[in-house]
């Protein structure tokens, strides 16, 4: 089980979703953040989905730590 589930749940509750956006016909992909319908696509191309998935968990942790403390 991933240790960032609390952070991911917080993001979901605050309408922040992060997911892989594949590049058609390739193994590489982007990461896309959807925050209340505003889409942000990563400028970086990830070589594979495993690499992108690791970055997604880091982003959930980062957003939780930075935005959750803004509210307190």
Q: Tell me the pLDDT tens digit for each residue of 1-29.
A: 466 899 999 999 999 999 999 999 999 99
Residues 19-67 have pLDDT tens digits of: 999 999 999 999 999 999 999 999 999 999 999 999 999 999 999 999 8
Contact call for residues 10 and 64 (beta carbons, < 8 A)? yes
Q: Tell me the Cα Rg of the chain.
A: 13
pLDDT level of residue 68 (50, 70, 90 thresholds): confident
Q: Using a cut of 0.75, tell me whether the model's pTM lies above it.
A: yes
pLDDT on residue 23: 95
pLDDT on residue 58: 95
Q: How many CB atoms lie within 10 A of CB 47?
A: 11
């Amino acid at each position: 089980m991933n240790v960032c589930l609390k952070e991911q749940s917080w993001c979901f509750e605050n309408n922040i979703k992060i997911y892989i956006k594949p590049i058609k016909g390739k193994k590489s992909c982007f990461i896309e953040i959807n925050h209340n319908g505003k889409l942000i696509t990563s400028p970086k191309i990830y070589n594979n989905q495993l690499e992108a998935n690791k970055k997604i968990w880091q982003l959930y942790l980062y957003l939780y730590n930075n935005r959750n403390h803004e509210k307190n």
